[in-house]
A and B are shown apart, each in its own frame.
Chain A
Amino acid sequence: MKEIKIFLIFISPLFIGWFALFLGAYKISPFLIIKILIDNTFHIFHLNNTPENAIVIDIRLPRVLLAGLVGIALSCTGAVLQGIFRNPLIDPYILGISSGAAFGCAITIGFLGFIPLQVNAFIFAVLAVFLTYSIAKIHGEITKLSLILSGIIVSAFFTALVSIIKFLVDPHKLQAIVYWIMGSFSLADWSKVKVALIGISIGIIPLYFMRWRLNVISMGEEEAKALGVDVKKERLLFIGFSTLAVATATSVSGIIGWVGLMVPHLVRMVVGPDHKLLIPLSATAGASFMIIADTLARSLTTFDIPVGIITALTGAPFFVYLMKYKSKEVWGKHA
């Protein structure tokens, strides 16, 4: 039974991606989608110049792929960060990594156009996570609460810096920054997919191979050391690769919160906490979740709602649920 569930989560992005390709304002039949996809690989049906082909290949497919990649990045890093900090209530957004990356992007859009977006996003994401980590450390120890609070502080700080930039830039750029920060895939194109694929792969692939170590490190620093793990060095690697993936995701899609918090929890409910399974399944479930959220964002109303709004609307109640009803698992016995 568990094997079936695992298999379903594993292949879910394929089906959900397919659904997302035929849902939309312009009706395209599910079979035509498959035909178009095959045609673009093997060139047998000669559909190249049809409007359906343009809609699927140029508009919907990059958007679905981008949403999937960002979903993988946020969910995987959510699971990783929850593991190394032994704290089920965090994700890249709560730790301030997303806000740091957003600030890096905002400066690039506003003033430093000559530096690539992703480079700045990564630099400030690293700065943000470093700040959160140092502020949370009180007398050499990081508690669950101090980590969340310092994440809030760092987030607030970088959000304020972004506001300064919004205030200073010309209105044309302001609109670009505001819309992008709300978190959206509406500007998806193939060049963004390429950037996301490279950056997120460099971050996530090592995390995938290092996943079993998370079990050991999540037992606590002293225990992991006694088991022969150089915790300080390995934690740095985990945080570094996670930050790279999150910075890339933020640079192509803006701030999308809560996904990294929710998805690992949902996966843990099905397969348990062993990171050997949790990490790959968080990746596929995260991709599916994000594609669903984005499909809702673009088809619920006639407008393209920023997907960050959808994830926050589901994530905030989920956080309350975890805090109130899963208190024993979340806070441990000595809450």
Chain B
Amino acid sequence: MLKVKNICYSYKNKKEVLKNITFSAKKGQITTILGPNGSGKTTLFKCISGLLPDYKGEVEFDGKLINNLDFKERAKIFSVVPQEHTPPFAYLVFDVVLMGRANYIGIFSTPKKEDYKIAEEALEFVGIKHLKDIPYTEISGGERQLVLIARALAQKAPVMLLDEPVNHLDFRNQLEVLKKIKEIAKDRNITVIMTLHDPNLACLFSDYAVIVNSGKKIAEGKTSEILTEELIKKLYKVRVKIYSLNGHRIICPLI
């Protein structure tokens, strides 16, 4: 169980972008941080993953306080799938996945047989083994996202953090990538935390949602229960009607 307690953050000399955010995320579940652009989702994400270390508050994993871990120890708990990303060199897909093992490979060392095996397995699990020997710069955006997810899997960390994993992807790739993420959470019993800005995708794929607006948490709970017409209106200033179809909730904007 990952617990986030009273996180506050302000960029240098500016007003607070995160105010007292508290929530927890369970193993084997997808917890989505949902909110409109500029709500503080990405800042919260960076505080949890340790990229913005100077926040106030506490992050706890399995009862252990993990605020002050160094990068190496932190990478044993969190794997991170980044949002924006331009690699400078055309590494092969396999080499990119292998980088997930960096934490286990000493600075004066190179990957061992075991690392190759784990990277291979991660590729297979995500279902992109056929891309193994293709330059990472020559595959589609959806495939690239899957490669980064495979890399995160190879890291063998109990918590996986994904920042807007389906941004810039087309309709089909959004579904493919999110389906894969759901499979990972269930099969590997990993705590998945991701940020999204589309409430429909949050409804379809996540178990739990933390709703953030202007740096404050305004709601938290099972996705199927808390996403109401009033909440969406408050959050996005859009009037919607929520329909139920085969047990799924579909949020339809009224235009």
Contacts and interface: CB of A to CB of B under 8 A. Distances in A.
A201 B178 CA distance: 50
Contact of A334 (B76, B86, B111): B86
Nearest to A223: B82
Contact of A226 (B49, B90, B92, B111): B49
A273 interface: yes
Interface in B54-81: 70-72, 74-76, 78-80
Contacts of B50: 225-226
Nearest to A276: B110
A268 B89 contact: yes
Interface string A168-208: 00000000000000000000000000000000000000100
B89 A227 contact: no
Contact of A228 (B71, B82, B88, B98): B71
B96 to A, nearest CB: 8
A226 B91 contact: no
B247 interface: no
Contacts of A226: 49-51, 71, 75, 78-80, 82
A212 B135 CA distance: 18
Interface stretch (A17-25, A40-48, A127-135, A214-222): A214-222
Nearest to B110: A212
A20 to B, nearest CB: 32
A228 B74 contact: yes
B142 to A, nearest CB: 17
Interface string B103-124: 1010111110000000000000
A212 B89 contact: no
A87 interface: yes
A171 to B, nearest CB: 48
A226 to B, nearest CB: 4
A216 B92 CA distance: 13
Given A209-B109, A222-B51, A227 B100 contact: yes
A37 interface: no
Nearest to A274: B95
Contacts of A304: none
B85 interface: yes
Contact of B105 (A212, A218, A225, A329): A212
A213 B88 contact: no
A216 B102 contact: yes
A202 to B, nearest CB: 14
A138 to B, nearest CB: 16
Contact of B82 (A209, A222, A231, A274): A222
B85 to A, nearest CB: 7
- The CB with the most chain A CB atoms within 10 A, among B75, B88, B135, is that of B88
Contact of A215 (B85, B86, B91, B103): B91
A274 B108 CA distance: 16
Contacts of A230: 70-72
B53 to A, nearest CB: 10
A273 to B, nearest CB: 4
A88 B71 CA distance: 27
Interface string A114-149: 000000000000000000000000000000000000
Contacts of B111: 212
A213 B98 CA distance: 11
Nearest to B111: A212
A227 B102 contact: yes
Given A86-B88, A209-B109, A218-B89, A229 B51 contact: no
B113 to A, nearest CB: 14
B92 A88 contact: no
B108 A273 contact: no
A213 B110 CA distance: 8
B103 A212 contact: no
A149 B155 CA distance: 38
A67 B236 CA distance: 67
Contacts of B79: 226
B108 A209 contact: yes
Nearest to A214: B89
Contacts of B135: 272
A218 B89 CA distance: 8
A223 B82 CA distance: 7
A234 interface: yes
A211 B110 contact: yes
B110 A218 contact: no
Contacts of A333: 86
B90 A228 contact: no
Nearest to A87: B88
Nearest to A226: B80
A210 interface: yes
- The CB with the most chain A CB atoms within 10 A, among B76, B89, B109, is that of B89
- 3 closest residue pairs by CB, A with B: A228-B75, A228-B103, A273-B89
Given A210-B108, A215-B91, 19 more contacts: A83-B89, A209-B109, A210-B107, A213-B107, A215-B98, A215-B99, A218-B88, A220-B85, A225-B51, A227-B80, A227-B100, A228-B71, A228-B102, A229-B102, A229-B103, A230-B72, A231-B71, A272-B90, A272-B92
Interface of B: 49-51, 70-72, 74-76, 78-80, 82, 85-92, 95, 98-100, 102-103, 105, 107-111, 135, 155
5 contacts: A212-B105, A215-B99, A227-B99, A229-B71, A230-B71
